[in-house]
Amino acid sequence: MNIIIKNACIIDPFGAYNQQIKSIKISNGIINKIADDIAVSDNDLLVDIPNLHISYGWIDSSVSFGEPGYEERETIAHGLEVAAKSGFTHICLNPNTDPVIDNQAGINLVLSKASGQASTLLPIGALTKNSEGIDMAEMFDMKNAGAVAFGDYKKSMENANLLKISLQYTQNFNARVIAYASDKNIKGKGVVNEGVVSTRLGLKGIPDLAEEIVVARNLYLLEYTSGKMHIPTISTQKSIELIKAAKAKGLDVTCSVAVHHLVLTDEQLDNFDTRYKVAPPLKDETTRQALINAVLDDTIDCITTDHQPWDIEHKKLEFDLAKDGTIGLESAFGALQNVLPLDVIIKKLLGAYTIFTNIIPEITVDRTANLTLFSPDTAYTFTVDNILSKSKNSAFLRQQMKGKVSGIINNNKLIINE
């Protein structure tokens, strides 16, 4: 099957066609030709969308679904359909399932569930058995089965020596450790960011120190071991400074920021709406601006949705009792365009490739077609009708959006949104 994409503006920060309007011919899943114009035959599938833009397929470094164990929140098959329609050709799946993905069988299971989908699933294996932080999981076996990294989702490693050993051990097979940062004792019973808003609302606050002290410790361990570390969803100014200094030393450390930390602040909490209860918590405007600046200066390597579906029984509760997390695949692109330039958004939605894969995200001839199609200028309000996920716990409901995803091409499949 041939697919002809007509007159698309290519956004490719890493390639030769950046900002050029071209037509693209794809034959049997391979980019066959890139030119100013390409003839279309009767048997070709034509993609001709007004103001069409394309980029290399986006990748999300932190996605939770539920299956196995929590299929009522999201299944792998349906979750990957949501990812595809949201523009993500690759997603890194967190191991927070039941059972936890902490062995080779778990990796094989989720990969088998993802077989045949347009979007590609890249499994993250648990760092410790059952993500309990006591014993190392079977990382070497999981790596051989297809795991791209190892971490205990939203769980900070209390045992510094175990993290040190993990960083040393994973060097034997060139793997990266994901080290979430939140000291549970300093966090205590906090539910929101410690500051003016928490005081005004009478909600227990979480100081920035809860994140920063763990980031600092983990970077010391990284320097000692010379391993590879990824720090997910950083959210404080001091964390930015610590990571920037570590990179200047030459440490192999990468980090991500969540879309909601770039777009929203804790001012959203005035109505005690639990859709805005996330971990780390939403911060103030000064911190939000600092995070944006860290994206712009490349201290932050990639942007994630940190997609975490919850059913209504776990989310629509008193604020203290509700679970942390928001879905974010469907809203990511439209929300980011309100705060960042288009070329920066694309660059950071491709950043996880160099962290978790060997893929070079560049659009060129004779390469597998892995593309995201989008129209950047469409303005709309995000509503429940825009949510494709089984769970509806979106922090972006009623937010103004700019830009819509038209579809993807990946795994020799074309997905076009209606």
Q: Which of 64, 149, 61, 137 is nearest to 104 (CA)?
A: 137
3-state helix, strand, coil in the chain (%, to 5): 30, 25, 45
CA distances from 79 to 70, 144, 213, 219, 294 (A): 12, 25, 35, 34, 30
Name the token pair of 114. Answer: 């993802």
- Residues sharing a CB contact under 8 Å with residue 341, sequence separation 6 or more, in sequence order: none
Q: Running DSSP on this structure, what letter comes out for residue 391? A: -
Which residues are marked as active site?
306
Three-class SS of 142-181: HHHHCCCEECCCCCCCCCHHHHHHHHHHHHHHCCCEECCC
The DSSP string of 188-199 is TT--EESSHHHH
Distance CA 126, CA 135 (A): 11
Q: Which of 382, 385, 372, 373 is nearest to 402 (CA)?
A: 382
Distance CA 259, CA 307 (A): 10
